[in-house]
Structure 1
Amino acid sequence: MKNEDLVLRGKPVRTKIRNDRSWGEKAFLWLMYACIALFSLVCVVPFWIVLADSFASEASYLKHGYQLIPSEWSLDAYTYLLQGDQLLNSYKNSLFVTIVGTVLAVIITAMFAYVLAHPKVKYRNTLAFLTYLAMVLGGGLVGFYIMVSNWLHLKDSLWALILPYLLNPFYAFILVAFYKSLPYEINEAATIDGAGDIRLFYKIILPISTPVIATVSLFYAIQFWNDWYLSLLFIDDYKLHPLQLMIRQLISNLNVSAYVGGGASYQVSAPSSAIQLATVCLTIGPIVFLYPFLQKYFVKGITIGAVKG
């Protein structure tokens, strides 16, 4: 119960605002809380199974399958993974591709979207149509492979994992929707003060675009981190394999020992099932830790991109 002062015809009037809820409203709220808790539990259980069973012994996994609480615990999978250099090399490759790719992609996409949204760009509608056409259609796998491998000579290069994703049309249109919501008077005021287009974009437009830029950055980071298709096409050197391709190789390769050890052979039998789960646990960390820092910007940016267009 709180007392609030209201002003009526210049005179303060004290009144009471009732916050009491009826029994039906309270029951509905508790039902909603229970549904949210149940849904959260359903989402958390798969992650827990992966984490818990990554510490299970191979014999326990083969006998009981996936368990919430493994009957026999073991660190063999993590010990086996960390004894070779492949995991460290793959981590370095994925971090390089994700960080460099996200920074370059966000800058290029933001600048391109600003051109599409600027009302004084003469051919912006034509560029927007071509961008939409590229999003709907595609260049074809054969032409794409020939261009990257033969024309750009990016075979067995980490840049082959970065350059094809530097401009995503869908993310560009999200930024276009935000830029169009900004009042054009900002541009006119900056121009009167002597700011050029480049200074206007980097000093004024980008700082006030933090929510949507953070959202697009998160999308690009997830795209670069989770991608394995481009590395499967263009990377033959296992030392350049990113984490996601390493997981795929561990799942599909029967000789896990030779792959993790970089060609070395070990006398012990590799716990292949637990290694797959342990690798997932080791590779999912950076993206999971990225969400809390971008959550408030992510929600606001999604709302902006969805409502205004």
Structure 2
Amino acid sequence: MIAANKPRQSAGDRWFGVSVYLFIIMFALVCFIPFWMVFINSFAKESVLQTEGYKLWTTSVHLNAYQYVLAGKQVLKSYGVTLFVTIVGTVAAMLVTSTYAYVLSHRKVKYRNVLSFLTYFTMIFGAGLVGFYILMVSWLHLKDSIWAMILPYLLNPFYAFVLVAFFRNLPYEIYESATVDGVNDIRIFFRIMWPISTPALATVSLFYALQYWNDWWLSLLFIDNHDLHSLQMMIRQLMSSVSVSSYVGGGTQYTGQPPTEGVKLATVCLTIGPIVLLYPYVQKYFVKGLTIGSVKG
């Protein structure tokens, strides 16, 4: 067999390809270098950071900043609270949001347009902080409850409309075929619609996980018990106390001048680590979400 000759690229095409790769490499370095500097300088000595600034490499490794942040048990408690809120909140939010979006996208739901308007209305107008606080504390009695950090984010209108647009692009004949076979709506959604909607569900799940992981506002409003403080709230209090010469870090006395700059860098490394691990897993679903429906057959 004679192998087919590949078409030769012109000089302009080759230079264009090289330019694209160089741009991608430069852009990746611009994104990566700040994270690398934060990580490597979190191990630098405080005096070096104050006199010489940030460097791409440090000649000596010091763990003073991490010892300061990890002193006591508060960090582990806050990590446990944040993990519970993120996992339970994301699962519950996806269950509520996906089922609600499926109702809005269904052709046979009588009041789906009214529900869509009410959902859109909440994106424009809100009751304000006072009404929200009265609802959570006086009516739902969620003061100093871990559910106060979960329930307010169960249904995001924007994420619901993203799923609505995805569900509307699915062939309606799938639903009709299932109903002919006698399958009810609940089984249709969880056994048929849910598996084929994995790209959209994974994407929205990532957004919810980031929202729950990075949130400190709800903890500031409703949580006074230090055992229920989220990781972000604990770090916020730590950063506000870092200028004090003697700090009780999670129940353990820390004497001497705290490593101010190193603590800032160490807290960034400790908080972004776990959530960054989600991106490689979800990335493949982003690719599927971009290519789904691109080929008609």
Provide the TM-score with structure 2 as the length reference: 0.92
Residue 92 of structure 2 is aligned to residue 111 of structure 1: no
Residue 68 of structure 2 is aligned to residue 80 of structure 1: yes
Contact 2:247/2:255 (<8 A) preserved: no
Contact 2:244/2:257 (<8 A) preserved: no
Query: Rg bigger for which structure?
Result: 1
Give 1:122 deviation, angstroms.
Answer: 0.3
Selected match of 2:56 from 49, 68, 87: 68
Match of 1:283 in 2: 271
Amino acid at match of 1:159: W
Give 1:93 deviation, angstroms.
Answer: 0.8
In 2, Cα distance between equivalents of 1:156 and 1:259: 22
Instruction: Say which SS state the counterpart of residue 155 (structure 2) adopts.
Output: coil
Instruction: Give the superposed CA RMSD.
Output: 1.9
Give a deviation string over 1:47-92, Cα, whole Å, max 9, x none: 0111011101111112122222235531111223333111101110
Residue 114 of structure 2 is aligned to residue 129 of structure 1: no
In 2, Cα distance between equivalents of 1:274 and 1:259: 17
The total of aligned residue pairs comes to 291
Selected match of 1:190 from 178, 181, 184: 178
Selected match of 1:261 from 235, 243, 250: 250
Match of 2:153 in 1: 165
Gaps of 5+ in 1: 4-15
Give a deviation string over 1:173-210, Cα, whole Å, max 9, x none: 11101110111111111111111111111111101111
Question: Equivalent pairs: percent with the same residue?
Answer: 59
Match of 1:6 in 2: none
Give 1:302 deviation, angstroms.
Answer: 5.8
Selected match of 2:25 from 23, 26, 37: 37
Mapping for residues 1-309 of structure 1, pairs under 5 Å: 3=3, 16-70=4-58, 72-253=60-241, 254-255=243-244, 258-262=247-251, 264-301=252-289
Give 1:98 deviation, angstroms.
Answer: 0.3
Contact 1:215/1:294 (<8 A) preserved: yes
Instruction: Say which SS state the counterpart of residue 253 (structure 2) adopts.
Output: coil
Give a deviation string over 1:108-130, Cα, whole Å, max 9, x none: 00000000000000000000011
In 1, Cα distance between equivalents of 2:179 and 2:244: 64
Give 1:238 deviation, angstroms.
Answer: 2.1
In 1, Cα distance between equivalents of 2:248 and 2:186: 48
Taking structure 1 as reference, are residues 188 and 23 closer, same or farther at Cα in structure 2, changes over 3 Å only?
same
Provide the TM-score with structure 1 as the length reference: 0.89
In 2, Cα distance between equivalents of 1:160 and 1:255: 31
Contact 2:81/2:230 (<8 A) preserved: yes
Contact 1:256/1:272 (<8 A) preserved: no
Contact 1:212/1:304 (<8 A) preserved: no
In 1, Cα distance between equivalents of 2:47 and 2:289: 48
Give a deviation string over 1:151-185, Cα, whole Å, max 9, x none: 11111111111000000001101110111011111
Gaps of 5+ in 2: none
Instruction: Say which SS state the counterpart of residue 182 (structure 2) adopts.
Output: coil
Contact 1:215/1:302 (<8 A) preserved: no
